[in-house]
């Protein structure tokens, strides 16, 4: 099954959606710390397919999310990463809409030794499915906004979107 891709305009700039074998494998901002490579590579080896079922569902759910009508995503996901990265990304999906968690809290939830927050941060920064695997909900221990592959302005936008009272149905 070929790699499918689509570009979705959004309030945080264009998003590159990538699916393969019936699952979402990537969602990248442009620009993103590493996604310019993805934008070029996937368009060379993949097929633009806005109507591919996973891509179409992702597009629809993201439109609902940005309009304030969706607080959870229901999509088949298949991010590529190490066992550790996959465990961190899975944990991120448990941070509820409108909530945040620190890197240290996630490390503790995973049963890691104190000080493992740096490893969690590195895994968080490698998340290939932004927004849907909500790496934007991870903040510093003191409540500060810390690094985000899509940029801190986008992180602030997403967190503010999720805090607005009128975004809940």
Q: Which residues are catalytic?
A: 135
Q: What is the rounded CA–CA span in Å between residue 106 and residue 95?
A: 10
Tally of residues, the chain: 169
Q: What is the rounded CA–CA span in Å between residue 11 and residue 32?
A: 15
Q: What is the rounded CA–CA span in Å between residue 66 and residue 158?
A: 9
Is the omega angle on the peptide bond into residue 31 within 30 degrees of 0, that is, cis? yes
15: nearest Cα among 2, 27, 3, 33: 27
Neighbour tally for 124: CB within 10 Å: 25
């Amino acid at each position: 099954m070929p790699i499918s891709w689509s570009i979705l305009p959004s309030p945080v700039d264009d998003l590159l959606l990538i699916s393969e074998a019936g699952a979402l494998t990537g969602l990248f901002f442009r620009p993103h710390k590493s996604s310019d490579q993805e934008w070029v590579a996937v368009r060379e080896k993949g097929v633009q397919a806005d109507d591919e079922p996973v891509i179409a569902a992702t597009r629809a759910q993201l439109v609902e999310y940005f309009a304030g009508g969706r607080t959870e995503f229901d999509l088949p996901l298949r991010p590529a990463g190490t066992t550790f990265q996959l465990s961190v990304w899975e944990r991120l999906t448990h941070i509820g809409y409108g909530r945040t968690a620190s890197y240290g809290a996630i490390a503790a939830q995973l049963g890691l030794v104190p000080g493992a927050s740096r490893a969690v941060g590195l895994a968080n920064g490698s998340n290939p499915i932004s927004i849907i695997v909500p790496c934007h909900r991870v903040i510093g221990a003191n409540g500060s906004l810390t690094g985000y592959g899509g940029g801190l302005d986008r992180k602030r936008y997403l967190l503010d979107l999720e805090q607005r009272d009128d975004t809940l149905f």
